[in-house]
């Protein structure tokens, strides 16, 4: 069956200031998580969901992302000549799927909403997915949340479906938080969102359901973004544009990730280390070795 959505925006323009000096000259999205740079997981998740037109919204010092996804016939030919099957296997992602990559640059740091708005012409009158380039989904099938959300989006004719995850109450100030009527929804079922607030001050969050880096939008989001004034930190917040959609009476839904589909990110060192460790532990080639090492190490701690 043809995918109802083909276009996806992947914002990767953030400066990575919380990851200095590791991100002084390289994008945070290129930090390795196990054997791959973080953003490769995101692209593979999108390809698995047959989202084949990928616009990466980059910025200064982000050129290595473009190089990473560029096919490199000379390198492949040299590896073939040398009979280096292992390296060829590791570079298979370059030939995977029918994905086309597009790039645009956000040259001023005006926020996530501003970055997404740069995709307006690319998306046109289609629906689109937004996947934050520093956030990974760990699951038996990492494309499951997006595929479920796309199906729900089509059924509901929604203006937006937002993946959310449960976070501890003391962490709500780090995320966009959604409000719903009544109790938290069952995982994997859309529930109407009545409000959404970007990083509410401690103690003021309307729930513990945090925006989890994957969104589906109708083109209405671009009109809402155009009308969104700078908010938190003087930046145009995607969350504020979603709140505007809700105020306009547009249908906006949350999609709670089940416990076996987890979001990870490389936005700060704490979450980066956690992400690296969990993905290394789950690595099909090196996971066993890492587990043995950590078990032995745990005795020394």
Residues that bind ligand G1P (CB under 6 A): 112, 132, 135, 175-176, 198, 210-213, 238-239, 267
Instruction: Name which of 55 and 178 has its Cβ closer to ligand G1P.
Output: 178
Q: CA–CA separation, 50 vs 7, rounded Å?
A: 10
Q: CA–CA separation, 129 vs 292, rounded Å?
A: 39
| Alpha carbon of residue 27 to chain centroid | 15
Q: What does the block give as tokens for 252?
A: 């906006």
Q: How far is the CB of 177 from ligand G1P (least distance, A)?
A: 8
Q: How far is the CB of 156 from ligand G1P (least distance, A)?
A: 21
Q: How far is the CB of 260 from ligand G1P (least distance, A)?
A: 19
SS3 content of the chain, % helix, strand, coil (to 5): 40, 25, 40
Instruction: Name which of 112 and 137 has its Cβ closer to ligand G1P.
Output: 112
Contacts of 116 (CB under 8 A, 6+ apart): 9, 11, 57, 130, 221, 225, 238
Instruction: Name which of 56 and 238 has its Cβ closer to ligand G1P.
Output: 238
Specify whether the CB–CB gap between 113 and 67 falls below 8 A.
no
Q: What does the block give as tokens for 221?
A: 């989001």
Q: How far is the CB of 289 from ligand G1P (least distance, A)?
A: 31
Q: How far is the CB of 197 from ligand G1P (least distance, A)?
A: 9
Q: How far is the CB of 135 from ligand G1P (least distance, A)?
A: 6
Instruction: Name which of 212 and 245 has its Cβ closer to ligand G1P.
Output: 212
Specify whether the CB–CB gap between 228 and 247 falls below 8 A.
no
The DSSP letter of residue 30 is G
Exposure letters 35-62 (e unless 16+ CB within 10 A, then b): ebbbbbbbbbbbbbbbbbbbbbbbbeeb
Instruction: Name which of 158 and 210 has its Cβ closer to ligand G1P.
Output: 210
Q: CA–CA separation, 274 vs 286, rounded Å?
A: 17
Instruction: Name which of 94 and 139 has its Cβ closer to ligand G1P.
Output: 139
Specify whether the CB–CB gap between 61 and 97 falls below 8 A.
no
Q: How far is the CB of 112 from ligand G1P (least distance, A)?
A: 5
Q: CA–CA separation, 209 vs 171, rounded Å?
A: 10
Specify whether the CB–CB gap between 253 and 191 falls below 8 A.
yes
Q: What does the block give as tokens for 93?
A: 């992602």
Instruction: Name which of 79 and 132 has its Cβ closer to ligand G1P.
Output: 132
Q: How far is the CB of 86 from ligand G1P (least distance, A)?
A: 35
Whose CB is nearest to ligand G1P?
A: 176
Instruction: Name which of 90 and 235 has its Cβ closer to ligand G1P.
Output: 235
């Amino acid at each position: 069956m043809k995918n109802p959505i083909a276009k996806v925006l992947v914002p990767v323009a953030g400066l990575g200031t919380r990851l200095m000096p590791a991100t002084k000259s390289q994008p945070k999205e290129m930090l390795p998580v196990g054997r791959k740079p973080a953003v490769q997981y995101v692209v593979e998740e999108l390809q698995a969901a047959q989202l084949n037109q990928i616009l990466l919204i980059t910025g200064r010092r982000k050129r290595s992302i473009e190089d990473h996804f560029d096919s490199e016939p000379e390198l492949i030919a040299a590896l073939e000549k040398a009979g280096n099957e292992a390296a060829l296997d590791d570079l298979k992602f370059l030939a995977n799927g029918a994905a086309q990559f597009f790039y645009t640059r956000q040259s001023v740091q005006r926020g996530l909403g501003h970055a997404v708005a740069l995709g307006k012409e690319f998306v046109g009158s289609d629906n689109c997915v937004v996947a934050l380039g520093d956030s990974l989904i760990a699951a038996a099938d990492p494309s499951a949340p997006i595929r479920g959300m796309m199906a729900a989006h089509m059924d509901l004719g929604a203006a937006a479906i937002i993946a959310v995850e449960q976070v501890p109450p003391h962490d709500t100030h780090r995320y966009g938080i959604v409000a719903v009527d009544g109790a938290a929804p069952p995982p994997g079922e859309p529930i109407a969102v009545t409000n959404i607030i970007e990083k509410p001050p401690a103690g003021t969050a309307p729930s513990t359901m945090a925006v989890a880096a994957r969104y589906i939008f109708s083109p209405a989001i671009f009109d809402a973004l155009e009308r969104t004034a700078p908010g938190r930190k003087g930046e145009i917040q995607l969350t504020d544009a979603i709140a505007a959609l809700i105020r306009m009476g547009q249908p906006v839904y949350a999609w709670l990730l089940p416990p076996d589909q987890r979001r990870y990110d490389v936005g700060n060192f704490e979450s980066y280390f956690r992400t690296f460790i969990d993905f290394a532990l789950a690595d099909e080639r090196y996971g066993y070795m890492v587990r043995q090492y950590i078990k032995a190490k745990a005795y020394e701690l």
